[in-house]
Structure formats: structure tokens, C-alpha cells
Amino acid sequence: MDNGIFIEMINGTQFKAKWARQFNPADREITVYVEGHREKKILNLARICCIRMAEPPYPDMEPGEMDPLQVIEIVSGKSYSVRTLKEHRDQYGFFAVPVDKDLSEKMVYFTNGCIRSRKSFMPVGKILENQGAVSREDLEKALSEQRRLRTMRVGEIISEDYQLEHNVIDEIITQAQQEGKAGKWLRVGDILVGAGLVTKEQVEAALASQKEGKKKKIGQLLVDRGLVTEEQVLAALATKFHLPFVDLATIDPDPKALSAFSSDLVMQLKVFPVADRGDYLEVATSRPTEASISDNLRFHTNRQIKLVTATPEQIQHAISRYYLSDDDMLRQLVDDLGKDDFQQVETREEAVKESDSGTIRLGNRILIDAYQQRASDIHLEPGGPGLPMGIRYRIDGICKTIHMLQPRFTKPLISRLKIMASLDIAEHRKPQSGKILLVIQGKRVEYRLEITPTVGGNEDAVLRVLTYSAPMTLDEIDLSPANLQKLKTIIAKPYGIVLCVGPTGSGKTTSLHAALAYINKPERKIWTVEDPVEIAQPGLRQVEIREKTGLTYMEALRSLLRADPDVVMIGEMRDRQAAHTAIETSLTGHLVFSTLHTNSAAETVTRLIEMGEEIFNLADTLLGVVAQRLARRLCRHCREAYHPSREEYDRLREYYGEKMFKVHGLPDYNEAFTLKRGRGCDECGDSGYRGRLAVHELMVCTEAVREAIKAGGAVRAIQEVAVAEGMRTLRMDGVEKILAGLTDLEQIRRVCL
């Protein structure tokens, strides 16, 4: 067996060799004896363009099924006519059988990163026909139109565009020839201009149309006729040039690949890096016919490039999302704001002097952009050395990567946020907390900043976005009609305690302020103690906690209890002492509202008992507990009705509880039964969801529930009694809102156990 091979390197070097070890692409290197040398030589596969082999590298290797004939051009500029082997491809390259008669070798291995272009001989129109995108008849009509455009004369174009009869044009040209006016260098257009039939500008437009028509591709003609979409043509071109077609909306780009390209380069070439494969970078383009794109990328990155294809819209969206680095990109992020629309509320005695630097504008614009996109939190997450910093927004409860910043912005941006929050920019080893106050378009916005040291000498920054807004009403917080009526009844009582429970960010404060707004009357003195005050209400006396100055929850509570309150709202029961004070306050004839971090209404009771509260006092003073969650709401603009399968209906019944599903009279499955789902539109970013929906569990302390509490019942026992008394659990309320077309089961299951 002849194991002679011919190797072509990236740098243009070519030499003969023999295998010293069996070839395995997964090794990412080859061991050979180079002709004229006695020692073995190890070559990195990433530095090789192709290996031509006299015999297959494996004794039992069968060519198998082969692709149609194609031309492969490597980065050195050399081209090969080959047929590639379908069964012999890997992530590093592929095998092919050459058809050039001048080549004596039987097989060639090409490395992925060294391919300048691959082109099959099958026309794009034929590919579209094979893929079922266009019929043979429509394709023939488009091809006929293409031939007509390529042979169309200027006179014919003028005749079509300006409604001139052919015989009139022919007569004028014939007359000019007879009079000797149609010389060798006189164009038809000049003759028509001289005859006064058209203007010089119209002739120039006809010449441009002729030039454009000659270059018009069959794919564009099919798109113009409405027979195929631009995406189908791009997919056909990807097939012709043997480039994978990818959906960037489903891909999380590799941070290493992102850091290999400047924003100027991706904007100029309209490409987007997808992955760093080690030996090469994978980059998406919407112009697979332009081989110069990969040449430019190789030159700027000094890396081998493998192209894939994606739509122009997806590439532009990805660039805007991940490349936020200079003023041009910042202008795309948000509209420029006037001086009256944005200002920082200084938190130091002396204002921090701000220079007109990109870092300052970048920090401001990220804060503004997050606010305008309705984000509740901003996460700044530095990468490792040389890697970009990710910026994620939490929108409607879901974290989304919005931007990837170049590494050079990481430390300056974190330092800028520290300055805005009056923190120590020289401290990098300890966590720090602060706040930034902005006025955006006349609205006060607070950002609670938390700096946390992370591995590699980095610091992560997380900002909670707090918008100072007017309170919602009870009718606006998504309570079911039954829960709404029950809550209005219990908060109208003169004393007792009402708790709102749930995880952080579940809307507890919003619900409590809605309840306070309902009872906020001139005859009632209402005090609140909050950290921070997120919602301002006229008529309420609101105290904001300031730990640094000694104004803690307990200090504030002791003070306001001597300030003649009727109603007290405690922002959060943070410890046993705060819980005990709240219970004692309600026992002394005050109506108390507060929040607690528990999972369900029944669990709240056992939690307070575990914190040392007297069972009988708790049972006597507790009016009710609202447990709640926030689920994503179906987009109002694109939600649509559909008939679910029986299996989907059964999952709803099981999730609700089959017994109570029937007891509560929920609908049976039939042909008229429908649910709703989000189709996706521009308003919701094609997600199908926009905004959030509150799901509630309201346990009213009836006599039966109080007896269950006094009996020291477990969570399950208290919940069973409450359900028997009319309570809907979080699951039940969620399913009822699914049936009402407000959300779907996936979102309810995400937030409810």
C-alpha cells in the first residue's frame, strides 16, 4: 500500500511526505516523515490546508455516497474539483475524491478553517426547485425573464418605461440613418433625445436599468415575483456554497468568538461571530457569494475562518445586541436625551465632576435603556481575561443577555457605577452596597447597586431598578372577583394583621400599597416603614429606613407607634423582633400590614409559630394571608385561541387537582374548549409574552381556620381547612387564569410549586 501524501500548508508551503502514524483528525495533529528528512515531524492540523493521499488513510475505508461535483478553493488560492464523501466528515474537516485528471492522488482531506469557498455546479433555481420552494413552470418563466433582461436594448426599455410604440422608435432610427445622422459613435438614446421623444435623464435611467437587468440573479427575480422569500433564496445559496444555515435567535454566541472581533469590523462586513472552535472561528454571513469576506476576517483576526449563513435581519439584530462599545452603537441603543430628560440626583455634598468620556455616557445609557425596556434588574458580569462582559436584564421575571461589552470597558464601567453610587472605587475585595438616583424624563428612578467580588479579580454588579410610581388599585392587581371581594372585606376591619407573602420580586409591596390606597381616607392616620419607599401615596406618612444613620426598622416602629397611628404598614418582617412587634401592634387595636418570605399562606402561620409567636394570639389577630407570584402574561397584541389536545387538558386538571376541578365547576373537554397562546409579534419581541400577571392565594381566617391554627395543625391540615372554606391555592388561581386566556401552563408551573 502506497502511503505517500502531499501536504499544502496555510503559508503556501508544499511538500511530499509519508505517514509515520495513522491519520486521525480528532488528534488535531499528524505525524509524518517529510521527504528528504529522516526524523518524524509533528504538524498541527490547524496549520494545514489539505492533505492529498495516494491511498485512503484507513485500510477498510469505503468512499460510500458522494455529493455532486463541486469546486473547493483553499486560502492559498488553489482550486480543486472534487466530490465530497458524505459519511466521512468531522468537526475539523472532510474527505473528498478529486476528479482532476492532472492529480494522481485518490483522496484529499480538507480542513474546515482553510476553505476560502465551496461551490456546487447546481444553479440556485434548480436547488429551489429540488427543495420544493418553486415549481418548474414558475422557474422557467423566471429564467425566460432573466434571458430577456440580459438581451434587452435601450430602445426596448424606453419603449416599456415611457409608453412609446416600437414602430415610432424604429421609424426615427431609420430616418436618422437615412439622413446620415446615425453615425458610428451616436447612440440610440442620443437619437431619441434629438428627436424630442425623451430627455437625457430618461435615457440615463434606461441605461442604468439595462445594466441592472443584466446582473439580476434568478433568486432576486423569483423574490420580485413573490414566488419565494429572501430567506429561501439564502438557504439555497447556503446549499450551493455548502455552508450551514443557522438560526441566530436560538444560538448563544461564544464569548471568545465575540472578543475576537471589533464592533467596527462586524458592522463593516455585516457578519456575526458564532463560535470559537479552537482551530477556527465560525462566523455568520448573509452574503455567501462574497469570498472576500473570509479573507478580510482572516487578515484582521489572524485566525482561520469557517462561514455559516444567517438572514441579514438576524445578523443586524445580533450585532446590535452584543456589540455595544462606541458612540455609534450607543446611539442605536437609545435615542439621545435632552438635558431636561435626564439628570443624576447627587448623593454627595459635592457633585462628582464628569468628563465627556464614552464610559460616562455608556453607564448612563445602560441605566436608561434598562428602565425603558421595563427591566427590574441589571446584571453586569465580567468574563475572564480578554473576554467580554455580559449585560443581562431581568424583564418580566426572565433574565436575558442584552449586550456583550468589549473587555476594555469592564473595569471603567464598574468604577463609574461605584462613583455614581458614592462607593469606594479603590475597594475591590469586599462587597459594597449603594444607590443611584436618576430623573428620567421627569420621573424619579432609583437603582440599588450591589457590588460583589468574584473570581479572577473581577467584580460583578447587580442593580435593582426601582421606579417611584403611583399605587395601583385593588382592581388592577389581577385578583379574581372572589378574592377581590374577600380582601376588601378583611382590610376594612379596624384592627388585626394582614400579611402578603412570597419570594423577592413577586409584587408584595405593590399589593400592599393597593390595599392601603383602598382604605386611605382622611379619617385614618396611616404610617409606613419601608426599605426603600418604592411607591409614594398622598395621605400616607412614609418613613424610609437608613441603616447608616441608625434609623432601623425597630427604631422607626418604636417612633411611629407613639405617633397616633390607625394603620401601620411594615415593609418586611426581617426578624423575630419585627414579627413580634407587628403582632403586638395589631393586638393593641391597630390594623397592620406587612410582608414575609414564605411559599404559601398556610406555611406563613407555621413560620410565625416557629419564630416564637403565641399560637392563640396569632389565631386571634390574623385577618388573612395573601400569597402571590408573578407569571409572564400572554401578549395582548398577538395572543390567539386554539383547541388544545386531550393530553394538555388532562395536565391542567391534574395540576389543579382533579377532585376540586370538578367541585369548582371548571369546564369539561369538548370541541368548543379553547385556550390561548402567544403567537409572537414586534410588541413582545416574538416571545408571545409581555408584562406580568399576579397569581394569588388568599387565606381568610374564618372560625374554622382559626381552630385549625389553635390546634397546632401542620401546613397541610391548615391548607385543607382553608380550601374547604373557599380558598383557591396558587395552582388553582393560576389554572383559572389559564382558562381565562391570560397566561399558559408553562408560566404557571415556572412560578408555582
Q: List CB contacts of 244: < 8 A, sequence separation 6 or more.
A: 238, 308, 309
Instruction: Give me the mean pLDDT over the 22-42 stretch.
Output: 89
On the question of pLDDT at 355 being above 70, the answer is: no
Cell numbers describing residue 627: 400569597
Say how many CA atoms lie within 13 Å of 635 toward its Cβ. 17
**272-308 pLDDT tens trace:** 999 888 888 899 998 887 878 888 888 788 888 888 8
Give, for 404, the enclosing helix (H) or strand (E). Answer: strand 398-405
Contact 421, 347 (CB under 8 A): yes
Q: In sequence order, what are the beta bridge partners of 8?
A: 14, 50
Q: In sequence order, what are the beta bridge partners of 498?
A: 593, 624
Q: List CB contacts of 323: < 8 A, sequence separation 6 or more.
A: 258, 263, 266, 267, 329, 403, 404
On the question of pLDDT at 79 being above 50, the answer is: yes
Least confident of 391-395, 483-487, 561-565, 635-639: 561-565
Q: What DSSP designation does 71 have?
A: E
Q: Are β-strands 70-74 and 48-53 bridged in parallel, bridged antiparallel, or unpaired?
A: unpaired
Show the DSSP H helices in 384-480 as ranges: 410-420
**425-463 pLDDT tens trace:** 889 999 998 888 887 766 778 898 999 999 888 999 999
DSSP string, 73-86: EETTS-EEEEEEEE
Give, for 371, the enclosing helix (H) or strand (E). Answer: helix 358-372
Give, for 381, the enclosing helix (H) or strand (E). Answer: strand 375-381
Instruction: Say how far residue 176 (Cα) sits from the centre of its chain.
Output: 66
In terms of Cα–Cα distance, which of 358, 382, 361, 354 is closest to 451?
382
Q: In sequence order, what are the beta bridge partners of 499?
A: 594, 625
On the question of pLDDT at 221 being above 70, the answer is: no
CA quadruple 572, 576, 582, 588: dihedral, nearest 10? 180
Q: In sequence order, what are the beta bridge partners of 305?
A: 281
Structural domains in the chain, CATH included, are 4-120 (no CATH), 125-230 (no CATH), 246-322 (3.30.300.160), 335-467 (3.30.450.90), 474-751 (3.40.50.300)
In terms of Cα–Cα distance, which of 128, 313, 131, 123 is closest to 233?
128
Of the two residues 496 and 224, the one the predictor is more confident about is 496
**607-622 pLDDT tens trace:** 998 888 888 888 989 9
Residue holding cell 421575571? 397
Of the two residues 702 and 684, the one the predictor is more confident about is 702
pLDDT (0 to 100) of residue 566: 92
Coil, helix or strand at residue 678: strand
Contact 324, 403 (CB under 8 A): yes
**224-238 pLDDT tens trace:** 777 667 777 777 777
Distance of alpha carbon 150 from alpha carbon 466, whole angstroms: 63
On the question of pLDDT at 483 being above 90, the answer is: yes
Q: CB-based burial of residue 31 (10 Å sphere; 0-12 exposed, 13-18 middle, 19+ buried)?
A: middle
Distances (CA, A) of 483 to 270, 494, 626, 704: 54, 20, 9, 18
Residue holding cell 404598614? 569
Contact 169, 155 (CB under 8 A): yes
Residue holding cell 436560538? 250
Percentage, residues of the chain above pLDDT 70: 83
On the question of pLDDT at 217 being above 90, the answer is: no
| Confidence category of residue 195, pLDDT binned at 50, 70, 90 | low
Percentage, residues of the chain above pLDDT 90: 31
DSSP string, 492-515: TSSSEEEEEE-STTSSHHHHHHHH
Given phi > 0 = left and psi -120 to 50 = alpha, else beta, which region is 208? alpha
pLDDT (0 to 100) of residue 449: 93
Contact 622, 497 (CB under 8 A): yes
Distance of alpha carbon 104 from alpha carbon 481, whole angstroms: 84
Q: CB-based burial of residue 624 (10 Å sphere; 0-12 exposed, 13-18 middle, 19+ buried)?
A: buried
